[in-house]
Each structure stands twice: as C-alpha cells, then as structure tokens.
Amino acid sequence: MDFLGAEYGPAQWHVRYSPVEELVYTILSQHTSDLNSERAFNSLMGTFDSIDAVADAPVEAIEEAIRRGGLAKQKAPRIKSVLCQIRDELGSFDLSFLAEMPLDEAKAWLKRLNGIGPKTAAIILCFSLGMPAMPVDTHIFRVSKRLGLIGAKVNADKAHDILEPMVEPQDVFAFHMYLIQHGRQVCKAQRPRCGECALGWGCRERPKLEREAKRAARKRKSGNKIG
C-alpha cells in the first residue's frame, strides 16, 4: 500500500451509481471494456427513464438498448430477471439498507440474487455504499498471485475471502484501486514491465517473468533476422 500509494497517489472514494444502478452496470461490464460497458449503461438509462421502466421492458428492448456493450442476448435477460426479483422482494429498488447490515450478511443477501456472485456483490457494497468489501477483478487476481498474496491454486471467487481480511477496512477501496491501476499499467498479463515495478523487489514471479521476456525477445530478434 505504501509503495503503490507513492506511485499512484491517494485513492478517493466517491459514489459512482446507486446500488441497483451499480448492479446493472456491473452486469454490463462483464467480458467487455470499461468504455463499452459505460456506453451500454448510458444507452440503457437514456432509453428508459427509470430502473422501474427497465424492469418492465421486454427483454428484446433491453437487448437493443445495450447492444453496443456486447453479449446483449445474455445480459438483457439477466438484468431483467434480477431487477424483477429485487422489486418483488422489496417493493422498490432501494438497497441502501445493506449499509446497515454486517458486511457478511450484506454480501449474503446480494449473492442469493440471480446471477450475483462475490465480485458483483463486493463492487456494489464497495463502490455504492462505501463498505469494506474487496472486489477482485482480473488485474487484482493476477497481481496478487504474482506477489504471492494468494496461492497459485486459489480461484477468483476464493480470492475475495483471502484478500479482504489482509487489508484494514479503511484501506480496502485504496488497495482495490491501486492493484487495478498497477495491473493495467505495469503488471500486465502480457509483457509486464518488471523493470519499472515499485514492488519488483518482493515479487516472487519476477525472475520467471524476466526469463520469459528475454526468451520472447530473442525469438523476435531471431525471427527478424530470418525475415
């Protein structure tokens, strides 16, 4: 945290969307880029004037509204199903009561909804309600494994339960943001920039990654000579 904080600056928490809007946005963000998910969300909310209207809309209309985000045929029925489930149970879409619950209970309430797993539940609680839930995306999962914070055989769902208690509650959001930023800019899936890494001194994967990078560079050089 100290090293990445010095690298990336303070991570300021602010409300992005209401909890139910965050839920919809997170479904739209699955298997697509941030840009496409934002476009799809804005298109959805621009097409329908409220979450109620989204829940009432035919699946085909939702699908058309979110088409630009990708996988619309899969995401549209998922969005309608979970919104209808929430409204049937609560009579509204107000999920603010979750902030008054213990964290584990709030997570459990969300994960019983159709299609809501640990990552989506943590995103809603962290980003909308400021609770110390740890969302683990692909960047955090990769960086944590390379650093040895989680074991090589730990899956993404289990990583939430392992990483969250490692971090002080007040630091969970910053930890999440730092590792995402680090995974995008330095500790990339392909060609990680180990020489520029603020955590390289303690990374158990660095020797292996650097050997792989050298082999790839030699292979490219050899290919260029042949060409």
Chain-centre distance of CA 201, in angstroms?
Answer: 27
Q: 205-221: buried (b, 16+ CB within 10 Å) or exposed (e) per residue?
A: bbeebeeeeeeeeeeee
User: Residue 5 is encoded by which pair of tokens?
Assistant: 């904080």
Q: Which of 75, 80, 107, 119 is catalytic?
A: 119
Please identify which residue in the block is written with the tokens 């009579």: 91
CB neighbours (10 Å) of residue 153?
A: 7
| φ, ψ dihedrals at 88, nearest 5° | -60, -35
- Whole-angstrom Cα distance, residue 63 to residue 71? 9
User: Residue 108 is encoded by which pair of tokens?
Assistant: 């459990």
Identify whether 80 is a catalytic site residue.
no
Asked whether the beta carbons of 27 and 79 are under 8 A apart, the reply is yes
- Whole-angstrom Cα distance, residue 94 to residue 11? 27
- Which residue blocks in the chain are alpha helix, DSSP H? 2-8, 19-29, 34-47, 51-56, 59-65, 72-90, 103-111, 118-123, 129, 138-147, 156-163, 172-185, 206-226
Q: Which residues are tagged catalytic?
A: 119
